[in-house]
């Protein structure tokens, strides 16, 4: 056996050694194209080679040189950067990258690389790097000295502060750069890009909180280009309340930032704090009718008619007709029929909404998120935009942010928007609740056993945010009506037990869930001689589920495929390990008269490690599922006609082949 294993390993090694180079063919075509100066064709082939062998730096180098031949300096720079990352010891590549950085105005990066090579490289590379470093560093040092002298004569010169800060950042004098970016912005707070510069420098200095405050302030402002750049430097999560407050300490006159904080506080049901923020906005920016309306509603909610009336009256008499109509709707007043020209803010909102909708429909979710966020900032009371933001975050698998938008949108005065948002919110909420109780029940009739089986479980999970495992408490029911097959050697058809237990379950990852539990099985069948009244029960394993195509309950017709796979350890079956695979593929017609249906083919298989006949089989056959509109979504009826074959028959008292008609339903609920 040892010799056999060794020969097997040797054969595998030889087979692997003879596998062709996946990048050989595109590289050969690339070099052929280079020989005839067909540089664009060569680039296309090199890109294919990079995809086939992404960790090979030589391909990146040749692609970079080809880009240089067609004048694509920035593309060449990126390929040299990747080649340098893959092979840091290649100083020639590092120098090429540094020179390209200098040529493409990334002098700070070029200076750092030249500085590293002149200190640690080989003699020839050191000499080249030293000369290049001095050529970059000397003008920066001279420029810094010159602007410092200019500021000594005129400390309030805005342009001198900006130029000095930029040169200092390129020379890695970050403290000096941050100081003068800050001073320049204080002189001209309307220059929002300076906040992005300040945040970037603070971030490079390791001042994370200060950097976040500057970038957050820049991301909520009237300058779209600066806001977009700031969002690119911020983390993908939504800011916390204390981060909004830090940003407002830096930029207290930022109305958009303060308004968003106020809405966040309102969402958190901190009405008093939200009212303070709206009040400050109205005092500093009386033309902000949206904040005036919200402040008026807050005062109206706490019965302060004296404080609410002038604010709501200001909105009703203001130029924003749509906002005035919303106030009339809330106050049960007749809506106006007048139409006034759109304000610039309204135009921005409409354009951003259109671009967001188009990006969403085309599947460009990142772009949709960007435009919808701009639309929301222009009009934070637009509930359809909030709903669309929720769906966009949901499709991007950012459910912690999606549920926040659904929660806001479900408060819409438009019933259709509120209903859709409420449904989405309640669908996501169980995953974020501290305690989540779920239950499922699956009774069905089997013609093979002429018996009704029933399986069910009630489970309460405890959700600790950020942890990959959740503890839970469970009660399972497993039983049937006949209990035995009868005869001289009766076979029990189910466990006939209630199983009480505690366990751990992982958060789902791409449809995969790990779980394990320990408990006690309490038999309700008092006549069973093979088990005790109470027995320990340990079980656990892995579950995977996936559905593709037109699943049951959708509005469109088409094909579908579903698979459920379980690998389970069961202590009460002789410490056995069972693997079960259920697969269905078929067609889902359009709902007809409120009846949703599916027609499909079953392909199931099971096996176990102890090789017991009843746990090893394959079965195939047609099936039919249906549910009526108005029934709970998780209630589904099914009928399956199956032909099965036991793959192991040792100890099988029956025929190896069987027919079975199974009819039953599945119901699940969670809270």
Kindly report, residue by residue over 142-151, the tens digit of the pLDDT.
999 998 998 8
How sure is the predictor about 363, in pLDDT bands with cuts at 50, 70 and 90? low
Q: How far apart are CA 247 and CA 256, in angstroms?
A: 12
Check if the beta carbon of residue 454 is closer than 8 Å to that of residue 413. Answer: no
Please say if the pLDDT value at position 284 is more than 90: no
pLDDT tens figures, 228-244: 888 888 887 888 888 88
Whether pLDDT at 406 is above 90 = no
At residue 552, the pLDDT reads 80
427, 457 Cβ separation under 8 angstroms = no
Judged against a pLDDT cut of 60, whether residue 347 lies above it is answered with no
Residues 171-200: what's their mean pLDDT?
A: 89
CA separation, residue 428 to residues 264, 397, 421, 638, 666 (Å): 19, 11, 11, 27, 21
Q: Tell me the average pLDDT across 341-347.
A: 51
Query: CA separation (Å) from 536 to 409, 497, 500, 522, 626?
Result: 49, 12, 10, 9, 39
Whether 605 has a pLDDT exceeding 50, the answer reads yes
Q: What is the pLDDT of residue 346?
A: 55
Cα torsion angle, 582, 585, 590, 593, sign = negative
The pLDDT mean for the chain works out to 83
- Does the fold of domain 436-670 match that of domain 344-432? no
Dihedral sign, CA of 332, 336, 340, 342?
positive
Share of the chain above pLDDT 70, in %: 88
Dump pLDDT digits (tens) for 472-521: 999 999 888 876 655 444 566 677 888 999 999 988 877 789 999 999 98
For residue 644, the model assigns a pLDDT of 95
CATH architecture of the domain formed by 436-670: Beta Barrel (2.40)
SS3 content of the chain, % helix, strand, coil (to 5): 50, 25, 25
Which pLDDT does position 520 carry in this prediction? 92
Ramachandran angles phi, psi of 534, nearest 5°: -135, 130
**Between 214 and 342, the higher pLDDT residue:** 214
Domains of the chain, residue spans: 344-432, 436-670
pLDDT reading at 371 higher than 50? yes
Please give the pLDDT value at position 443: 93
| 553 pLDDT tier (thresholds 50, 70, 90) | low
The β-bridge partners of 660 are: 642
The residues, ordered by sequence, that sit 6+ positions from 6 with a Cβ below 8 Å of its Cβ are none
Confidence label for 604 from pLDDT (cuts 50, 70 and 90): very high
What is the structure's pLDDT at 539? 93
Q: Which of 30-34, 84-88, 662-666 has the highest mean pLDDT?
A: 662-666
For residue 10, is pLDDT > 80?
A: no
CB-based burial label for 239 (10 Å; 0-12, 13-18, 19+):
buried
Q: Give 415-432 pLDDT, tens digit per residue.
A: 888 888 888 887 777 777
User: Does residue 7 register a pLDDT over 70?
Assistant: no
How high is the pLDDT of residue 71? 84
pLDDT, tens only, 628-643: 877 877 789 999 999 9
Where does the pLDDT of residue 19 fall: very low under 50, low under 70, confident under 90, or very high at 90 and above? low
Residue 528 has pLDDT above 70, yes or no: no
Pick the CATH number of 344-432 from 1.10.3720.10, 3.40.50.12280, 3.30.2010.20, 1.25.40.10: 1.25.40.10
Per residue in 23-70, pLDDT (tens digit) is 888 888 888 888 888 888 888 888 988 888 888 889 888 998 988 888
- pLDDT value at residue 486: 53
Cβ neighbors of 622 (< 8 A, separation 6 or more) are: 599, 600, 601, 602, 640, 641
Per-residue pLDDT at 643: 95
Q: The tokens 């379950």 sit on which residue? A: 505
Q: How far is CA 384 from the centre of its chain?
A: 21
**pLDDT, mean of residues 368-387:** 81
What's residue 8's pLDDT?
45
Tell me the mean pLDDT in the region 110-131: 87
Phi, psi of 181 (to 5 degrees): -60, -40
The SS3 call for residue 500 is strand
pLDDT computed for residue 532 by the predictor: 62
The answer to whether 412 and 652 are in contact (CB under 8 A) is no
**pLDDT score recorded for residue 660:** 94
Q: How far apart are CA 410 and CA 586, in angstroms?
A: 36
The least confident of 70-79, 105-114, 221-230 is: 221-230
């Amino acid at each position: 056996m040892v010799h056999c294993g060794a020969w097997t390993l040797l054969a595998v090694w030889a087979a692997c050694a003879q596998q062709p180079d996946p990048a050989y063919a595109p590289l050969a075509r690339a070099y052929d194209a280079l020989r005839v100066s067909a540089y664009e064709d060569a680039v296309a082939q090199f890109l294919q080679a990079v995809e086939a062998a992404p960790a090979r730096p030589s391909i990146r180098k040749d692609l970079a040189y080809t880009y240089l031949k067609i004048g694509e300096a920035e593309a060449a720079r990126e390929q040299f950067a990747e080649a340098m990352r893959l092979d840091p010891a290649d100083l020639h590549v590092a120098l090429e990258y540094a020179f390209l950085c200098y040529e493409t105005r990334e002098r700070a990066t070029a200076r750092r690389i030249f500085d590293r090579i002149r200190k640690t490289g080989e003699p020839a590379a050191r000499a080249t790097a030293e000369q290049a470093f001095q050529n970059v560093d000397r003008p920066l040092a001279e420029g810094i000295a010159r602007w410092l002298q200019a500021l000594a004569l005129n400390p309030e010169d805005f342009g001198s502060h900006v130029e000095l800060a930029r040169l200092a950042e390129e020379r890695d004098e970050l403290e000096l750069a941050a100081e003068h970016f800050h001073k320049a912005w204080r002189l001209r707070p309307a220059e929002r890009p300076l906040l992005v510069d300040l945040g970037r420098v603070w971030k490079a200095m390791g001042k994370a909180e200060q950097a976040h405050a500057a970038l957050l302030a820049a991301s909520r402002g009237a300058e779209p280009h600066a806001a977009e750049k700031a969002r690119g430097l911020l983390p993908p999560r939504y800011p916390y309340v204390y981060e909004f407050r830090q940003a407002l300490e830096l930029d207290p006159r930022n109305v958009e930032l303060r308004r968003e904080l106020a809405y966040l506080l309102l969402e958190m049901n901190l009405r008093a704090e939200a009212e303070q923020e709206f009040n400050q906005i109205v005092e500093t920016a009386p033309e902000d009718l949206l904040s005036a309306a919200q402040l008026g509603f807050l005062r109206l909610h706490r019965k302060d008619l004296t404080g609410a009336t002038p604010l709501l009256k200001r909105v009703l008499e203001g130029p924003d007709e749509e906002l005035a109509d919303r106030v009339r709707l809330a106050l049960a007043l007749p809506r106006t029929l007048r139409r006034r020209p759109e304000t610039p803010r309204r135009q921005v909102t409409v354009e951003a909404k259109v671009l967001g909708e188009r990006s969403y429909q085309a599947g460009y979710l990142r772009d949709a998120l960007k435009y919808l966020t701009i639309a929301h900032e222009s009009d934070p009371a637009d509930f359809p935009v909030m709903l669309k933001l929720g769906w966009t975050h949901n499709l991007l698998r950012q459910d912690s942010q999606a549920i926040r938008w659904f929660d806001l949108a479900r408060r819409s005065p438009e019933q259709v928007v509120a209903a859709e948002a409420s449904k989405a919110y309640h669908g996501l909420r169980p995953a974020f609740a501290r305690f989540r109780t779920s239950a499922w029940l699956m009774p069905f009739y089997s013609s093979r056993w002429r018996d009704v089986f029933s399986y069910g479980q009630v489970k309460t999970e405890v959700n600790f945010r950020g942890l990959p495992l959740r503890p839970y408490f469970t009660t399972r029911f497993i039983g049937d009506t006949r209990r035995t097959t009868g005869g001289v050697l009766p076979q029990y058809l189910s466990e006939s037990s209630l199983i009480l237990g505690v366990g751990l379950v992982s958060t789902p990852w791409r449809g995969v869930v790990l779980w394990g539990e320990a408990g006690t099985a309490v038999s309700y069948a008092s006549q069973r001689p093979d088990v005790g009244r109470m027995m320990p029960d340990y079980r656990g394993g892995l579950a995977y589920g996936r559905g593709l195509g037109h699943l049951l309950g959708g509005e469109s017709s088409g094909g579908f495929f579903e698979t459920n796979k379980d690998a389970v350890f069961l202590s009460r079956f002789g410490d056995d390990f069972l693997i079960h695979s259920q697969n269905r593929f078929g067609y889902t017609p359009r709902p007809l008269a409120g009846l949703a249906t599916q027609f499909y083919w079953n392909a199931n298989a099971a096996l176990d490690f102890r090789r017991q006949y009843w746990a090893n089989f394959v079965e195939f056959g047609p099936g039919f599922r249906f549910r009526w509109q108005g029934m709970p979504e998780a209630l589904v009826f099914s009928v399956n006609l199956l032909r099965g074959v036991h793959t192991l028959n040792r100890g099988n008292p029956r025929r190896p082949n069987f027919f079975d008609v199974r009819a039953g339903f599945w119901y699940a609920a969670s809270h």
